[in-house]
Structure 1
């Protein structure tokens, strides 16, 4: 299954392996040696490494890799519900399901294929899913790793029902950071946010940049399409670009909450920051036959 764009250059590669529970994973590697590992469990990215083999995503040392548990870390997909805003289980069911490969994915755009490795995964509802959420859909996820190490996730969700349906959605990105008290976020200034620690009440961000000294669990509304996370100690900036996803969640459980989570180490909150690129406040509604696209692009650049 080698559908990397650079057939002439053998090093942009797509390889299938199995985890210890026998679940397939896809490893994408670009020509410079950066890599991304995606599991069919949840269509979830579990690893994104630089060409110096440095891991950019956080996964808890206590994460559980057995479906139907969701994996604590990487980039889980929240669909068709974000958080507890609805009747389904927390963050919906997509992140707990076993997805399938699309053996014949549509090709990349010719301008887009240089040195890029990619894979397409599909999720269709099971009988059980349709009982919980009675809407037929096809969810196509394309994960690609470009020559410059950019990681892109594109979700296409199509309504193959005879009636409309609505959903909320998020890519929940667990970033690996040096120290939560040394990190700042830019791109959320002056925005309204819903505070999950205050019964989803609405507030307005007053700070120039967001920094952390206690638990944070917020959804910023109608944010710009670029958010930057500065990690001073690592001299690294994550740039998060999004399309079709107006909102941005920010989460760090801090000390007390960390101790109450079975699949999360007591001290691990210091090394992670969760950013959701999401459509939460206004659910997305699809008419029969309609398709929605939501895109996330992650990059890192050295910073001072």
Structure 2
């Protein structure tokens, strides 16, 4: 199925499929056999595989009914992430049906740069405007690079006559062998808000993050060049390397056994096979004046586990 908003070079392959609910999905492939699958339900990246077919993203075995999206993949959280109020906890964008963007405004070359990509668009419905009365355009470009890297670029434009304020996150479920074997580097010495301690502020004193119990922190990164976060899975000898632009916060989360057991959309012991490391803009939400646009970009690559955050540069 050809489509003007889905772009690739002559060696890239693109396929349109439907899920069990009849929702359109786009599969991007590169010449080496890596793939990424994007659903129009929520604009969610639901799969990302290397050339050997190894899955990099966690997806729960528990399937939920539409319009809710399944737990896992990379979900788009907008216009809020965890605030309370009349909106859904992680915003309504993740449960809306997106459309393919026929004529997206241009992005810098590095946003595609030899990649196969899909452009999606979300605009508010009448029901959305009743609970969040702001007109916007939310654009998402999902790119699969020649080296298998995955890049998501989101743009939010204010098309109403008054300013509005929002927060944003790429809620990213990474697949790991066992959460007890995972180590996260790049956030040491950073301040964070601990959601398990009434959002009290602390400074990380360890040389890396490891997991022995429920973990739910919002790391507050300083202004300046974005640092790199490395997620090391020792058993699989795999390191996820995460780079961000426009996303000053990093959320790290694992529900652990007790909370996971109470989740209707999480299988037994599945908490052991996932960790969320989210590029986000939550602590200091974005305010857009009429006509203004905000851009947030997330890039994830996979490297051998001998890599660490000190040996990587942006």
Normalised TM-score (structure 1):
0.94
Shift of 1:303: 2.0
Q: Aligned-pair distance for 1:13?
A: 2.0
Q: Secondary structure at 2:196's aligned position in 1?
A: helix
1:260 corresponds to which residue? Answer: 262
DSSP 3-state at the match of 1:258: helix
2:220 maps to: 221
State whether residues 38 and 44 of structure 2, in contact with CA within 8 Å, keep that contact through their aligned partners in structure 1. Answer: yes
Contact kept in structure 2, 1:79 and 1:94, CA below 8 Å: yes
Higher mean C-alpha displacement, 83-92 vs 214-223:
83-92
User: 1:243: which partner in 2?
Assistant: 245
How big is the shift at 1:60?
0.4
Residues 4 and 115 in structure 1, CA contact (< 8 A), matched pair in contact too = no
Structure 2 unaligned residues grouped into runs of 5+: 307-314
1:192 — aligned with what? 191
Aligned residue runs from structure 1 range 72-151, under 5 A: 72-105=71-104, 115-151=114-150
| Whole-angstrom CA distance in 1 between matches of 2:145 and 2:212 | 35
Superposed, 1:270-285 pairs within 5 Å as 270-285=272-287
Match of 2:309 in 1: none
Given that 1:241 and 1:296 are in contact with CA atoms closer than 8 Å, whether structure 2 keeps it comes out as: yes
Structure 1 residues 91 and 112: alpha-carbon distance in aligned structure 2, compared to 1, 3 A threshold = closer
Q: CA deviation at 1:110?
A: 6.0
Q: Give CA-to-partner distance per residue, 1:169-188, whole Å, 9 cap, x none.
A: 10011000011011100111
Whole-Å Cα distance in 2 between the matches of residues 89 and 114 of structure 1? 35
For these two proteins, the number of residue pairs brought into alignment is 300
Indicate yes or no: 2:48 matched with 1:45. Answer: no
Aligned match of 1:59 = 59
Task: Report how far residue 222 of structure 1 moved.
Answer: 1.6
| Mapped contact 1:114–1:147 kept (Cα < 8 A) | no
Distance of 1:207 and 1:131 partners within structure 2: 45
Offset, 1:109:
5.6
Match of 2:156 in 1: 157
- Report the Cα distance in structure 2 between the residues aligned to 1:301 and 1:35, rounded to whole angstroms: 17
Q: Which moved more, 1:34-43 or 1:216-225?
A: 216-225
Say yes or no: does 1:27 pair with 2:27: yes
Q: Distance in 2 between the 1:128 and 1:53 partners?
A: 40
SS at match of 1:129: helix
Equivalent-residue separation in structure 1 for 2:110 and 2:287 (angstroms): 32
Matched, 1:232 2:230: no
Task: State the 1:301 CA deviation.
Answer: 0.6
Cα distance in 2 between the residues matched to 1:33 and 1:252: 31
Query: Separation in 1 of the partners of 2:110 and 2:238?
Result: 29
Over the aligned positions, Cα root-mean-square deviation in angstroms equals: 1.6
TM-score by length of 2: 0.92
Change (3 A) 1:208 1:111: closer
5+ residue gaps, structure 1: none
Question: CA 1:49–1:285 in structure 2 vs 1: closer, same or farther (change >3 Å)?
Answer: same
Tell me, yes or no, if the aligned pair for 1:5 and 1:113 is still in contact at 8 Å: no
| Per-residue Cα deviation, 1:171-224 (whole angstroms, up to 9, x for no partner) | 011000011011100111111111111111111111010000000011001264
CA contact (8 A) 1:5 1:108 kept: no
Q: What's the CA shift for 1:67? A: 2.4
Q: Which of 271, 283, 296 is the matching residue for 1:269?
A: 271
SS in 2 for 1:76: strand
1:269 Cα deviation from its structure 2 partner: 0.8
Q: Is the 8 A contact 1:63 1:264 kept in 2?
A: no
8 Å CA contact 1:121, 1:142 repeated in 2: yes
1:12–1:115 Cα contact (<8 Å) kept: no
Aligned position for 1:71: 70
**TM-aligned CA deviation for residue 103 of structure 1:** 2.8
Per-residue CA deviation, residues 102-157 of structure 1 (Å, 9 max, x unaligned), is 13445676677664110000000000000010000000100000100010000010
Aligned pairs for 1:206-217 within 5 A = 206-217=205-216
